[in-house]
Amino acid sequence: MPHFGLMDESAMRKDEAALLRAKLHLRGGRRRMRQKKYAAAIATLYDAVLSGIKWYILSFKGESAVQADEGIYLRTEQELFNSLVQAGVLDGIKEFENLDGLVDQALTGKVPPFDEDQVVTQVERWLTQLGVMPFNEEALPPEDPNTY
């Protein structure tokens, strides 16, 4: 994954780690999409959204972040997404379901035809709604060109 070797999650607060991971995975997902590594790109962009959701939840829980972190893992990705839609933070339930299905297919090695730009644009939209974007990519640790 794009964050391997670029961050030490154990040395960071959980919310900070989730935010950096979301940013690194967005950057890595875009690169993989440009390289036509579709299965990896889709999975990486999906993880960027999930990391952004985790950051959003943890960053607004303050003292109870550890309990919130435990609760995050007890819920499905769809439940987490839907809860933020209900709270008015995110939109696009159908688009998230489509991305989730695309990830499932990509993980089996069967990537159906899809609109690359639309997927990236939707992920960026969600990350903007969560407050992850915009950010300065120059401030991120440099990518290792040898990573997948």
Mean pLDDT of 38-51: 95
Quick: pLDDT tens for 20-34. 999 999 999 999 999
Q: To 5 degrees, how large is the angle CA 22–CA 2–CA 115?
A: 75
> Which comes out higher in pLDDT, residue 135 or 123?
123
Distances in whole angstroms, Cα of residue 26 to Cα of each of 8, 16, 46, 105, 120: 18, 16, 9, 20, 9
- For the entire predicted model, the pTM comes to 0.85
Quick: pLDDT tens for 99-121. 999 999 998 988 889 999 999 99
Say yes or no to pLDDT of 2 above 50. no
- Domains of the chain from N-terminus onward: 9-134 (1.20.120)
Contact criterion met (CB below 8 Å) for 15 and 65? yes
